[in-house]
Amino acid sequence: MNGSKSKKIRKKADELMYEWLHSLVPEEDRESITKENYKDFFPTLEKYIYQNQRLSLSSFTERWFIQQVKKQKKKLNEITLQDVM
């Protein structure tokens, strides 16, 4: 995969993370979350967890969203939040 395609995938994953965070927050708190500061609302968790005697990627992290976007068979601009859930 070349650099420009991976950059587009990361950008799409960021958009999906932002959209997912907005779906969790109550209506009155959504104005305080912008595209510049939404990552501050995510906890600083480990990317990987140890379960069943192996390492697994934690759910709903930035890396997890990137992998979910890569798994889709659709075009990049057609992927929605419901596709990755």
Q: What is the pLDDT of residues 7-48, one digit of tens each?
A: 989 999 999 989 888 888 888 888 888 888 888 877 776 778
pTM for the whole thing? 0.80
Closest by CA position to 71, among listed 60, 59, 85: 85
Q: What is the pLDDT of residues 42-56, one digit of tens each?
A: 777 677 888 888 988
Burial (0-12, 13-18, 19+ Cβ within 10 Å), 35: exposed
